[in-house]
A = this chain, B = another copy of it.
Amino acid sequence: MDKIIECVPNFSEGRDLEKLEKILECFRAKKGVKLLDYSSDQDHNRTVVTIVGEPEAVGSAMVEAIGKAVELIDLNIHEGQHPRMGAVDVIPFIPIRNVTVEEADKLAKNVAREASEKFNMPFFLYEKSATSPHRENLANVRKGQFEGMKEKMKDDLWKPDFGPDTIHPTAGVTAIGARMPLVAFNVNLSTSNIEIANKIAKQVRYLSGGFRFVKGIGVELHDRGIVQVSMNLTDYTKTSIYRVFETIKMEASRYGVNIVGSEIIGLIPMQALVDTADYYLRLENFKFDQVLETRL
A-side residues, CB < 8 A to B, are 4, 6, 34, 36, 52, 96-97, 181, 188, 241-242, 245, 259-264, 266-270, 273-274, 276-277, 280-286, 290-296
- Could you say which residues of chain B place their CB within 8 Å of the CB of A52? 295-296
Given contacts A280-B276, A296-B4, contact A263 B285 (CB under 8 A): yes
Bound: A96/B262 CA distance, A = 27
6 cross-chain CB contacts under 8 A: A52-B295, A96-B292, A264-B286, A267-B291, A268-B292, A270-B291
B282 touches A259 (CB 8 A): yes
- Could you say which residues of chain B place their CB within 8 Å of the CB of A283? 261-264
Bound: A157/B169 CA distance, A = 85
Given contacts A4-B296, A296-B4, contact A268 B291 (CB under 8 A): yes
Bound: A264/B266 CA distance, A = 29
B188 touches A281 (CB 8 A): no
B290 touches A269 (CB 8 A): no
A291 touches B273 (CB 8 A): yes
Given contacts A274-B273, A281-B241, contact A290 B268 (CB under 8 A): yes
Copies of this chain held together in the complex = 2
Bound: A286/B293 CA distance, A = 19
Ranked nearest first, the 10 interchain pairs of A and B with the lowest CB-CB distance are A276-B277, A273-B277, A261-B284, A267-B292, A280-B280, A270-B293, A261-B282, A269-B292, A277-B277, A262-B281
Bound: A4/B36 CA distance, A = 20
A284 touches B262 (CB 8 A): yes
User: How far is the CB of A242 from the nearest CB of chain B, in Å?
Assistant: 7
Bound: A290/B96 CA distance, A = 14
B276 touches A260 (CB 8 A): no
- Could you say which residues of chain B place their CB within 8 Å of the CB of A259? 282
- Could you say which residues of chain B place their CB within 8 Å of the CB of A262? 281-284
A292 touches B260 (CB 8 A): no
Bound: A4/B296 CA distance, A = 9
